[in-house]
Amino acid sequence: MEWGIINTENFKDIYEVPIKRWDPLSTVKITSEDFGVRSGRTRYYGHYSYISPIRGERPKGFKTIEEEKEFFDCSKEILKKHKDVFSSVIEGKQVYDDGGIPIGDVYTMIITQDEIRRDKPFSEKPHRIERIPEANKALTLINRYPSMARIVDPDIEKYVKDNLPSHLKLSRGINLVTISRHFYPSLCFNLIPEEALSGIFLSMKAAILYCIEEAIDKDYYDIPVMPFFNIGRKAGGSQPRIHSQTYIDLNMDGHGSRLEGYLEAFKEMGDNCHLCQTTHGDTDRIILKSEFWTFYNTGSPVRNYHIRFHPNEHLRRFSQLKINQIEELAYSLKVIFQALDDIEIDKNRNILFNCCPYGYDANFHLFADIIPHETIGGAEMADDMRVARKLPHIAAKEIRETLKKYLQ
Ligand SMILES: [Zn+2]
């Protein structure tokens, strides 16, 4: 099941495949044509889980707590410590750790090298690694440990369908991981050159477009796409190297309740898009407004210091971002992360891009969230709710004042 491939050689059991399951107590049928209703296929929104046994086999990037702590220290020294699970893929040869144990794969599947298309998104064969030129900025790979199956042998697919209980389904989709060509620890976000970060965004964008094109060619449609960064182990990042991921869900069975909320809200706004028109609390919650982007502390934070940002242009998807928007985003994220470090906000953070699914005829304004890690309590798990202690306009003031010295 590695690389999302299920075939006669690796198939063992119906429960050894990635599964998608909708929670019957929080799942509702989609009835709006804007949000993907089509005759002949039932769609849902609500809570779902991807259950993927292969995820447990992911290599761990940090062996000890001490080793992880090294990556909190963002001195330049850390850049030399560059042997990680992706080193072999970059160097084109098997890399060994200090104890002589091989780390990383000697096989890979590269969707985009910078923006250049390489392996086909539905390719069935990982190939030998090869050295990636130093001039490259980023690589987008098929995730070896995905939560969805990309390619399934048709006979096995039928067998799984016939034998899995009816409320469970084999989960289909593509999981991408985008890494920087050179090693930068994700916890030292401010050390990453802007070009490297732009390179990651550009490679992601090219890979998403390639995957969507090929998926449509295979008669998939109405496709939710979720690009995100897990920065630091506590935010779900199992590797120290800066990397992003993209989940491309090809189940054609709907979307989650959070996305439904966004879709409904934008629908209600109609032509009066909130993000195009708002001043975000009369400007006192705005952290940074530049030519192409607006960053602000959201008035209803999911965590203390939760930052939301959006392109000033009314775009629906990450993949519509243009080069000048991407370059300015890389610069802005770097300075904002530096400001968050300066005021000692937890370095474990997620960046989540909220996009309109491909194929939906819905109004949407692309936006993203920066969510610093925090432990949450029971009340917050019981509903789509958070108890925060920091007033957003005060958080914004702190960040704004810290930012001043970095802005040209
Ligand atoms: Zn808008």
Q: What is the dihedral of CA 260, 262, 265, 271, to 10 degrees?
A: -120
Question: What are 350-401's pLDDT values in tens digits?
Answer: 999 999 999 998 999 999 999 999 988 888 888 888 888 899 999 999 999 9
Considering the chain, what percentage of its residues have pLDDT values greater than 90? Answer: 75
Res 277 pLDDT > 70? yes
- Ligand 1: distance of its center to the CA of 33 in Å? 21
Residue 34: pLDDT band by 50, 70, 90 thresholds? Answer: confident
355 C-alpha vs ligand 1 centroid, how far in Å?
12
Provide CB contacts within 8 A for 308, sequence distance 6+: 295, 296, 297, 298, 367, 368, 369, 370
User: Phi/psi class of residue 33: alpha, beta or left (left: φ > 0; alpha: ψ in -120 to 50)?
Assistant: alpha
Report the pLDDT value the prediction gives residue 167, as an integer from 0 to 100: 86
Q: What mean pLDDT is predicted for residues 50-60? A: 80
d(CA 6, CA 136): 32
- Give the pLDDT score at 166: 84
Query: What is the arithmetic mean of pLDDT over 81-109?
Result: 89
- Mind listing the pLDDT tens digit for each residue in 152-196? 999 999 999 999 998 899 999 999 999 999 999 999 898 899 999
Nearest alpha-carbon partner for 243 in 261, 254, 230, 253? 230
Strand, coil or helix: what is 133?
coil
pLDDT at 81 over 80: no
Q: What percent of the chain has pLDDT over 70?
A: 99
Please report which confidence band the pLDDT of residue 8 belongs to, taking 50, 70 and 90 as the band edges.
Answer: very high
pLDDT over 80 (residue 62): no
Ligand 1 center to 52 CA (angstroms): 36
Answer yes or no: are the C-beta atoms of 178 and 200 closer than 8 Å.
yes
Residue 105: band (very low, low, confident or very high) from pLDDT cuts 50, 70, 90: confident
pLDDT of residue 280: 66
CATH number for domain 2-406, candidates 3.40.50.1370, 3.30.428.10, 3.90.1170.50, 1.10.275.10: 3.30.428.10
Could you write out the DSSP letters of every residue in 156-188? HHHHHHHHS-TT-EE-BEEEEEEEESS--BGGG
How much is the average pLDDT of 145-152?
Answer: 94
Residues around the ion ligand 1 (C-beta < 5 A): 273, 275-276, 314, 365
In this predicted structure, the answer to whether residue 87 has a pLDDT above a threshold of 80 is yes
User: How far, in Å, is the centroid of ligand 1 from the Cα of 341?
Assistant: 30
CB 81 within 8 A of CB 291: no
Pairing between β-strand 5-6 and β-strand 151-152 as defined by DSSP bridges: parallel
- Name the least confident of 53-67, 183-197, 240-254, 265-279: 53-67
- Paired strand residues for 349: 231, 372
Strand, coil or helix: what is 151?
strand
Q: What does the pLDDT read at residue 282?
A: 63
Q: Is the pLDDT of residue 321 over 80?
A: yes
Under a CB-based contact definition with an 8 Å cutoff, are residues 163 and 216 in contact?
Answer: no
- Residue-wise pLDDT for 108-137, tens only, equals 999 999 999 999 999 999 999 999 999 999
The answer to whether 171 and 147 are in contact (CB under 8 A) is yes
CA 313–ligand 1 middle distance (angstroms): 7
Tell me: pLDDT of 266 over 70.
yes
The beta strands (E) that lie in 83-224 are given as 95-96, 102-103, 107-108, 110-113, 116-117, 127-128, 138-142, 151-152, 169-170, 173-180
Domain boundaries defined on the chain: 2-406
* 76: confidence class by pLDDT, cuts 50, 70, 90: confident
Whole-number Å distance, alpha carbon 312 to ligand 1 midpoint, is: 8
Q: 251: CA distance to ligand 1 center in Å? A: 28
Confidence grade of residue 408 (pLDDT, cut at 50, 70, 90)? low
Given a cut of 90, whether residue 19 has pLDDT beyond it is: yes
- For residue 270, how far is its CA from the centre of ligand 1 (angstroms)? 10
DSSP states of 341-353: HHTT--S-EEEEE
For position 119, what pLDDT does the model report? 98
What is the 96 CA–ligand 1 centroid distance (Å)? 49
